């Protein structure tokens, strides 16, 4: 019987690619995100790639809402009687200069990108203790680099990195907590940054120009490292921030 893994933000981008890869390996999956139809599409992709219908469960929920973390825990217990791993992948990105970006935007960003992962870890920790499980947080090199116009997103991700390292110590030895820090990956995130289309086009060009390996990443460039952290090769890793960015942050 495969591992039971909850993946947030499973309806698109990295989360969807991760789910499909894990389903092909026989993992039982709880797919979490806001938009039900996106999650169902991911589920179809998982089934097409070898997943069994009873092993792939969807949970549409807004992780910024109160009670969302408990809903994820309860769904994992109801469907699979436990959990082996949580991948905190869901996030919102909002770019823009400080003067143009109100503080409510920052509060919303923090709720989704930092508070929700913390609440989820707290809520499923008893299940992960029982399974000697693991958490993988999807951070960002945006939490390492200081870039004008990206301070809110960068601060939220830097907070997630700190949470990863702190909880790695606090929850050891029962639960391992690591993070993967992608560079620029070509996903739907670029369709919803809160900036206009010209600015997005300039941003994409900048990402390619400043990435030593000469292109934006694809979800498939990042997924193997999340899979590695979930698996048996990483049993002596905790508190690691694994950068996968085509060299952009070096």
Residues known to be catalytic = 153
CA distance 205 to 104: 29
What would the DSSP string read from start to end of 42-74?
Answer: HHHHHHHTT--GGGEEEEE--TTSTTHHHHHHH
Q: Quick one: which of 68, 178, 179, 86 has its CA closest to 131?
A: 86
What own/partner pairs with CB < 8 Å and gap ≥ 24 does 105-110 have?
A: 105/152, 105/194, 106/152, 106/155, 108/64, 109/152, 109/153, 109/156, 110/156, 110/159
Return the residues of window 79-98 that contact ligand NAP according to CB under 6 A: 89-93
Is 185 among the residues that bind ligand NAP (CB under 6 A)?
yes
Choices 18-26, 33-41, 120-128, 164-172 (CB under 6 A): range interacting with ligand NAP: 33-41
Choices 5-13, 46-54, 95-103, 168-176 (CB under 6 A): range interacting with ligand NAP: 5-13
Is 165 among the residues that bind ligand NAP (CB under 6 A)?
no
Is 42 among the residues that bind ligand NAP (CB under 6 A)?
no
Is 62 among the residues that bind ligand NAP (CB under 6 A)?
yes
Is 119 among the residues that bind ligand NAP (CB under 6 A)?
no
Which residue's CB is nearer to ligand NAP, number 172 or number 201?
Answer: 201
Is 206 among the residues that bind ligand NAP (CB under 6 A)?
no
- Measured torsion, CA atoms of residues 51, 125, 73, 1, in degrees rounded to the nearest 10: 30
Which residue's CB is nearer to ligand NAP, number 24 or number 145?
Answer: 145
Choices 28-36, 166-174, 194-202, 231-239 (CB under 6 A): range interacting with ligand NAP: 28-36
The DSSP bridge pattern shows strands 134-138 and 4-8 to be unpaired
Q: Quick one: which of 225, 188, 196 has its CA closest to 92?
A: 188
Q: Check if the beta carbon of residue 31 is closer than 8 Å to that of residue 42.
A: yes
Look at residue 160 and give its three-state secondary structure. helix
Which position among 3, 9, 124, 163 is part of the footprint of ligand NAP (CB under 6 A)?
Answer: 9
Least spacing, CB of residue 89 vs ligand NAP, in Å: 5
Which position among 170, 188, 206, 220 is part of the footprint of ligand NAP (CB under 6 A)?
Answer: 188
Is 227 among the residues that bind ligand NAP (CB under 6 A)?
no
Is 117 among the residues that bind ligand NAP (CB under 6 A)?
no
Is 178 among the residues that bind ligand NAP (CB under 6 A)?
no
Judged by the rule CB under 6 A, the positions of this chain that interact with ligand NAP are 8-9, 11-15, 33-35, 38, 62-64, 89-93, 112, 138, 140, 182, 184-185, 187-189
């Amino acid at each position: 019987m495969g591992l039971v893994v909850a993946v947030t933000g499973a309806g698109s981008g990295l989360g969807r690619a991760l789910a499909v890869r894990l389903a092909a390996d026989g993992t039982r999956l709880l797919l979490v995100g806001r938009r039900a139809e996106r999650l169902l599409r991911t589920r179809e992709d998982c089934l097409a790639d070898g997943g069994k219908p009873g092993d792939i469960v969807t949970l549409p929920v807004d992780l910024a809402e109160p009670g969302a973390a408990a809903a994820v825990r309860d769904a994992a217990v109801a469907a699979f009687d436990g959990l082996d791993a949580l991948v905190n992948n869901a996030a919102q990105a909002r770019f823009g200069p400080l003067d143009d970006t109100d503080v409510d935007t920052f509060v919303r960003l923090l709720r989704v990108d930092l508070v929700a992962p913390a609440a989820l870890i707290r809520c499923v920790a008893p299940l992960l203790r029982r399974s000697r499980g693991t958490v993988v947080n999807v951070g960002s090199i945006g939490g390492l680099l200081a870039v004008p116009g990206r301070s809110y997103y960068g601060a939220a991700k830097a907070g997630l990195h700190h949470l990863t390292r702190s909880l790695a110590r606090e929850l050891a030895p029962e639960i391992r907590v690591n993070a993967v820090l992608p560079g620029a990956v070509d996903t739907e995130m670029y369709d919803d940054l809160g900036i206009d289309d010209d600015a997005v086009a300039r941003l994409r060009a900048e990402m390619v120009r400043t990435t030593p390996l000469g292109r934006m990443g694809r979800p498939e460039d990042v997924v193997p490292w999340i899979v590695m952290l979930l698996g048996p090769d990483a049993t002596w890793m905790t508190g690691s921030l694994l950068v996968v960015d085509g060299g952009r942050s070096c």
